[in-house]
Chain A
């Protein structure tokens, strides 16, 4: 190796690191390592003076590699990479040693902590000697977007994108737009009309010159990569025959929504057996038609609403479906409005009134004399047919928690607040666009807190209930967030591909094809004429699966090469 000049900068982080780790001792140990030219400490390396110090040292000593021993690289790697760039050094000539989150903050013995910090810093020094200059690259960004799902999220995203002048292909599986919101009458907590809300959206979408609404259409295939997708969509031709068309898009938003839980799976609620046990959606149908009646056509005197059907239940879904509590209260209002004398009881576990206007709605619901009965999780109410002598159709036995009594509620109509579930086609959709699902089948976001609408596949976004149960405001927020993310990219016209990816050395590749199927991003293609495999760098996310698996060692992971990792191993064990 040619003569390198490595600068090592050890941060005190105030007392965060220095209180436990003897930073001066690390300077001593590191100075003995090969190629180390400069080693020093500073109070706050990430501060302006700290960064200036690094920059000055780079220039003065002609450093060509930099190690910063400080906080986690997940915190400040981008910061220090910029510092190197400003000093005229390739940003990938940096390596950080995590001596805070993974050392000073978790160990109390200063001797052991210092020893460990010294080892981690040594590992970084040995590793950085093998770093290579890497460059980020640009590719064109197609401004079109494919939106999968024509519900409230899909339409909201479509409008933002189209209003900004971009073409949108809105693919909807069914024969109408509106999704699950189209099945609703009013919405909580303000009792707005769902129909009015939707009509506004649908009209604007259908009339928008930039939106192609593709009804009865299914996405069959997605090829390409961010900025350059080719999507094959199967629709219906004029004569009704299925026909495939290919659309070029730069981004995809998945807004496929949810399906409701099948209430017949909970046998003790009698859904499917007792005629007047209905689901929330079945009640919506009645409300839209303007008439709330029992199966026999009578006006119900007692209406009971049961929360958490299929949700918060280890047997079915452990999660909370988020919207049902407020929707149940909405039904209390709507039933009282449709049947003024009716007794409405609301049988719930907890009242999730988390959002804007919701606690007020809850209060107003009790003001209209809704009867609230609380039951404990796993201690479910039991519904049975009433006797002929009772003046109601069914009786619900509830172990009511607040009173401590077992109460028998009469009910002519029972409304089951069925929870949200991932759709049956969610697995197919996930594979189509290369995203993951969590254990409940919801699509996984890039970061649960900081990146809720992007996914691990660059260029594919998720919005609405398909990501997790949520209400209309949150679905619309996510949809418009995804649209904004896309607009930020289309505005630039080009996108930067990360410099870190895998590469096949064709001099070493034997064409064994062990790697071909390993890539979750389908980034490896085989050239049958050359008999070699090849990584499409724009698609590669640098996970390294193919690198470790290649039996010839023909694939290298930029910035995570075998040599770099071997030297880290040597360093931590020195």
Chain B
């Protein structure tokens, strides 16, 4: 049975969530592996959300916001842009493979692009296999 990754997506209401809706109204089909959580702006995304998602069993986390310069709240996506490399370096130190967490800018008119990103990320995470986190933490406990 092929491994079906479970990817949590954090999408900003004004651009990326709308873009994902557009993929829907355009009936563009894509992989069913991303489960979307709506926030108003990518700036709302606390790094804790990403860490918690991985802890709770997510195989990947996708973060989407408006293209730089187009943020509905002026500069929210820049705040995410500044957090992201720090988050990636933290994740690398915690041994989480690079392709499990991804940041993409998707505008409200980019339904096809959203679908392409989901498909691409699903395949990349599939190739990595299930996230080691949940199983590893449980295995540690079994050794005590």
Contacts and interface: CB of A to CB of B under 8 A. Distances in A.
Nearest to B73: A543
Contact of A573 (B8, B27, B39): B8
Given A569-B8, A573-B58, A105 B44 contact: no
B43 A543 contact: yes
Interface string A525-568: 00000000000000001111101110000000100101001101
B69 A439 contact: yes
Interface string B30-62: 111001111111011111110011001110000
B129 interface: no
A572 to B, nearest CB: 4
21 contacts: A98-B38, A105-B24, A105-B25, A107-B30, A108-B29, A123-B37, A434-B74, A436-B74, A437-B69, A438-B70, A520-B76, A521-B73, A544-B39, A544-B41, A569-B37, A569-B52, A569-B56, A572-B37, A573-B6, A573-B53, A573-B58
Nearest to A572: B35
Interface of B: 4, 6, 8, 13, 17-18, 20-21, 23-25, 27-32, 35-41, 43-49, 52-53, 56-58, 69-76, 79, 83, 115
Nearest to A568: B37
Contacts, number: 134
B48 A562 contact: yes
A456 B21 contact: no
Contact of A107 (B32, B43, B58): B32
Contacts of B36: 98, 102, 120
B27 A456 contact: no
Given A436-B74, A544-B44, A106 B23 contact: yes
Nearest to B56: A573
Given A106-B24, A438-B69, A545 B79 contact: yes
A102 B79 contact: no
B25 A101 contact: yes
A260 B48 CA distance: 49
B21 A101 contact: yes
A187 interface: no
Contact of B73 (A102, A541, A565): A541
Nearest to B109: A448
B40 A572 contact: no
Contacts of B79: 518, 545, 548-549
A444 interface: yes
Nearest to B14: A456
Contacts of B20: 101-102
B41 A545 contact: yes
A544 B74 contact: no
A516 to B, nearest CB: 14
Is the interface on chain A under 10, 10 to 19, 20 to 34, or 35 or more residues?
35 or more
A74 B24 CA distance: 13
Q: Which 4 A-B pairs have the closest CB atoms?
A: A544-B44, A101-B24, A545-B43, A520-B74
Interface stretch (A56-64, A109-117, A188-196, A246-254): A109-117
Contacts of B24: 72, 100-102, 105-106
A224 interface: no
A101 B17 CA distance: 10
A101 B72 CA distance: 22
Most chain B CB within a 10 A radius of its CB, from A113, A115, A560, A569: A569
Nearest to B6: A573
Contacts of A101: 20-21, 23-25
Contacts of B4: 112
B65 to A, nearest CB: 11
A73 interface: yes
A77 B56 CA distance: 28
Contacts of B40: 500, 542-544, 557, 560
A448 to B, nearest CB: 8
Contacts of B75: 520
Contacts of B8: 569, 572-573
Contact of A106 (B18, B27, B69): B27
A383 interface: no
Interface in A434-458: 434, 436-439, 444, 456
Contact of A566 (B41, B47, B52, B83): B52
A113 B41 CA distance: 27
B53 A105 contact: no
A376 to B, nearest CB: 27
A500 B73 CA distance: 14
Given A105-B24, A112-B4, A116-B32, A543 B76 contact: yes
Contacts of B21: 72, 74, 98, 101-102
B43 A573 contact: no
